[in-house]
Amino acid sequence: MTQKVEFGLFSPLAGLGWKAVSERAAKLEKLGYHSIWVTDHFWNRGVPEADVLECTSAMSALAVATEKLRIGSLVLCNSFRNPGLLAKVLATLDNLTSGRVEIGLGAGWMEEEYRAYGYEFPPTGARLRQLDEGVQILKLLMTEKRATFEGRYYKLSEAYCSPKPIQKPYPPITIGGSGEKLMLRIVAKHADRWNCPAGYRNFEHKFDVLKQHCQATGRDINQINISEQLLVCIGASDTEVEEKWKIAQRLPFWRTGIKGNPPQIIEHLRERVRKGITFFTIIFGDMNSNQSIDLFAREVMPAFA
């Protein structure tokens, strides 16, 4: 059976008040997008004094402001919250949404953010091993009546997490990253979805590495869906596309984006679908304008329905 292609919107929270976030979510729901994905940062790296809503608080508000739209994090930083607390937060959110939460997890990367808020910034290997333990704890608390865990970094002793999430055994877990030695092994062990980072040109090699880790851990690679975080510049004319492309160059990953009119965007996406990518977290290069959100839903999404 062919995997259905789905589209979510990657919606950074920096510089947006609640009114703008809630209105965007309502639009996405009306237009038939699968989900909205919000960021987990305490400040904006480029403009640190800008308003930035806290991720899980924003997800909670979106839970009661929407009815069908799925609500995800891209991605929650494992270091910012004890995994036991995070399991409780996410299980609660899944109840608030009647089973619409998408869990996106990562190991953290912005050292200056860690330092500013008093978090230790361990070496990359340690942060990845902490993520591995953190995912194990999430799964235990969401599936066991009482959870006990003895790890190198975290511990549980007869801990409860009630109510359990609506989605069984737990909400889908997305893990992003491409480090071949540790991160893709964590994806192979734990993820329901691998979010391939911006940089599609390396996809085939990274996917082969992921398959090797799946074989080593006894996991069926077909149990892991593949998503791509993708910048899209879409317009009705070449002039409009180029104007949006200029705006997109403010974003750090603009070089890996795609641009064009709707038929051209459809072909770019079909190329990726042929490779096995079936989920796209889109950020539009004009900073998620309503015009781009509308045009994509009207002219592109029906081609994949």
Secondary structure (DSSP) of 31-98: HT-SEEEE---SS-SSSTTS-B--HHHHHHHHHHH-SS-EEEES-EEGGGS-HHHHHHHHHHHHHHTT
Q: Which residue do the tokens 């009207």 mark?
A: 298
* pLDDT number for residue 251: 86
Tokens of 223: 């149990």
User: Do the Cβ atoms of 238 and 244 come closer than 8 Å?
Assistant: no
CA distance from start to end of the chain: 15
Pairwise CA distance, residues 112 & 236, whole Å: 40
Predicted local distance difference test score (pLDDT) of residue 93: 98
Is 80 exceeded by the pLDDT of residue 2?
no
d(CA 281, CA 196): 10
Looking at per-residue pLDDT, the higher value among 197 and 148 belongs to 148
Q: Which residue has the higher pLDDT, 196 or 51?
A: 51
pLDDT on residue 236: 96
Given a cut of 80, whether residue 197 has pLDDT beyond it is no
User: Taking the CA atoms of the chain, what radius of gyration do you get in angstroms?
Assistant: 19
Range 7-38 burial, b when 16+ CB lie within 10 A, else e = bbbbbbbbebeeeebbebbebbbebebbbbbb
Please compute the mean of the pLDDT values over residues 225-252 and round it to a whole number. 95
Share of the chain above pLDDT 70, in %: 98
- The pLDDT score that the predictor gives to residue 29 is 99
d(CA 74, CA 173): 11
Q: Are 36 and 282 in contact (CB under 8 A)?
A: no
Q: What integer pLDDT is reported at residue 254 of this predicted model?
A: 87
What pLDDT shows up at residue 260?
A: 98
Can you count the helices (H) and strands (E) in the chain?
Answer: 10, 12
Q: What pLDDT sits at residue 229?
A: 93
How does pLDDT run across 61-120, given as a tens digit for each residue? 999 999 999 999 999 999 999 999 999 999 999 999 999 999 999 999 999 999 999 999
Residue 205 pLDDT greater than 80, yes or no: yes
Q: Average pLDDT in the 150-165 region?
A: 98
pLDDT digits (tens, 9 = 90+) for 278-300: 999 999 999 999 999 999 999 99
Going by the DSSP 8-state scheme, the letter that residue 298 receives in this structure is: H
What is the average pLDDT across 248-274?
94
pLDDT at 253: 81
Position 255 scores a pLDDT of: 87
Can you tell me the mean pLDDT for 208-218? 97
The confidence score (pLDDT) of residue 42 equals 96
Determine the average pLDDT of the residues in 195-204. 78
Ranges of each domain in the chain: 6-171
What's residue 198's pLDDT?
A: 62
Predicted confidence (pLDDT) per residue in 29-62, tens digit? 999 999 999 999 999 988 889 999 999 999 999 9
pLDDT beyond 60 at 1 = no
Question: Residue 201 above 80 pLDDT?
Answer: no
Mean pLDDT of 117-138: 98
Question: In sequence order, which residues have a C-beta less than 8 Å from that of residue 214 and are 6 or more positions away?
Answer: 188, 220, 221, 224
247 and 28 Cβ atoms separated by less than 8 Å: no
Q: DSSP label at 204?
A: H
Q: Is residue 3 scored above 90 in pLDDT?
A: no
**Cβ count within 10 A of residue 149:** 17
What does the pLDDT average to over 171-183? Answer: 95
**Annotation: CATH topology of 6-171:** TIM Barrel (3.20.20)
